[in-house]
Amino acid sequence: MKKKQIQLCKEDQIDNKDLIVALNLDYAANSKLTTLTIIVINSKCFGTGQSRAICVPLAIWSGDESEFVHVADHFRKEIEIIRKHGITTESNHCSIDVFLTMDLKALSVVCPGVKQGSWCPYCDTCSPICCKNHKPRTEDSLGCILGLPACNIIICVLHAKERLCENVLRITLSGVKEKDKFWDAVIKIKGLEGLQKVEDEEWNDVRMFLHGNTCNILLNNVGVMSLFFEKEQTQMLWDALKCLLNNIDKNASDQVISESLSLFWNIYVAAAQGFQGKCWYAHILAKHFLALKCRVRNVKQFETQAFESNHLEEKESIEGASSKGGGTPYSYYD
């Protein structure tokens, strides 16, 4: 296994690999199951919808993501072998590279080094809006229990979109005087009627949960919220976020994305001053997205919806498993 310690986008290019394998670790609250799932992205159709044609659970258990440590060594050895030697099917030999694609919570399980004062898997910065230059993470500081370097981690941009929209909404709320009226206006938007929030009596610690569709609805209805904005900067922040996410969705050119990243980052840093809950995804997109795009050409293909859709089939699969005689879901602690 290669142990280079150079910039993210200077690693081996994927063009010389026959198969790109993506792994995802995810817990589904509705089924209370955790799954390690694999997608094989054929390099011949890399960057197209066909790259999600294969999505298969490798391991399923009843319990938290943290239980993955009990089987990680097995998968680490398998990953080392296929990255080094590839695989042969019939008369065809395929060279393979393996990527991790997941949200930051699951990443902290697979890469425990990320939890030591920083949630960034790519550099050692300890603050999400620190503008100083920082060193890229080495494999040792990352501590990936699957033996993969930082350049083989692709943060899910869908999760980034969801958490950033939540964060910008919280920043907006913190600067609005008529908070109750503002929130009433938000939940009257079609599609957001069921949006829930958690806060203390004085609106000091607001939390809400958005998914891809509700993010789009919110971004398309900034005009409704703008009636309550106290600063022009708030409008600029939403506009910059919408522009950036749209360019990422379209897989726009590096130059276009670079400009939208710079614009969003500068406005976000100014708007988040004095706000406690700054978003690590803002740092990751602003400082590392272009390097990731250079590495894999289309980061969107590594979004985790394809993995998460498997949760619908997991329960049926595991209940019929021979390891339990067709019995109930199990835990690695069993």
Q: Tens of pLDDT along 4-37?
A: 332 333 344 565 678 888 999 988 877 788 889 8
Residues 289, 170, single domain; the answer is yes
182 and 213 assigned to the same domain:
yes
Alpha-carbon distance of 241 to 171, in angstroms, equals 13
Residue 85 within any structural domain of the chain? yes
| Domain presence at residue 1 | no
Domain count, the chain: 2
Residue 88 domain-assigned (yes or no) = yes
Structure tokens at 43: 């390099």
Does residue 61 sit within a domain?
A: yes
In a shared domain, residues 148 and 239: no
243 belongs to a structural domain: yes
Same domain, 176 and 147: no
**Pair (89, 219) in one structural domain:** no
- For 168-204, the pLDDT digits (tens) are 999 998 899 998 899 999 999 999 998 887 666 566 6
Q: Are residues 13 and 151 in the same domain?
A: yes
18 and 71 belong to one structural domain:
yes
- Model pLDDT for residues 292-308, shown as the tens digit of each residue: 998 888 888 888 776 76
Amino acid residing at 9: C
296/302 Cα distance (integer angstroms): 9
Whether residue 192 sits in one domain with residue 116: no
Separation CA 139–CA 65 (nearest Å):
22
Same domain? 86 vs 16: yes
d(CA 305, CA 297): 19
3-state secondary structure of 35: strand
239: enclosing H helix or E strand? helix 232-249
Asked whether the beta carbons of 82 and 114 are under 8 A apart, the reply is: no
CA distance 287 to 284: 5
Q: How long a stretch of residues is the chain?
A: 334
pLDDT in tens, 51-67: 566 677 888 888 889 99
CB of 294 closer than 8 Å to CB of 7 = no
Q: Do 15 and 141 fall into the same domain? A: yes
Q: Are residues 81 and 173 in the same domain?
A: no
Per-residue b or e along 56-85, where b marks 16 or more CB atoms closer than 10 Å to that residue's CB: ebebbbbbebebbeeebeebbeebeebbee
Same domain, 145 and 23: yes
Report pTM: 0.83
Domain that holds residue 210: 158-297
287: CB partners within 8 A, 6+ apart: 120, 122, 123, 125
Structure tokens at 179: 């908070």
Report if residue 2 sits inside a domain. Answer: no
**Is 3 part of a structural domain of the chain?**
no
Residue 35 domain-assigned (yes or no): yes
Write the pLDDT tens digit of every residue in 104-160: 888 989 998 887 667 899 998 888 887 677 888 888 889 999 999 999 999 999 999
Among candidate residues 41, 51, 167, 27, the one with its CA nearest the CA of residue 107: 27
Q: How many CB atoms lie within 10 A of CB 274?
A: 8
Residue type at 305 in one-letter notation: Q
Sign of CA dihedral 73, 150, 48, 280: positive
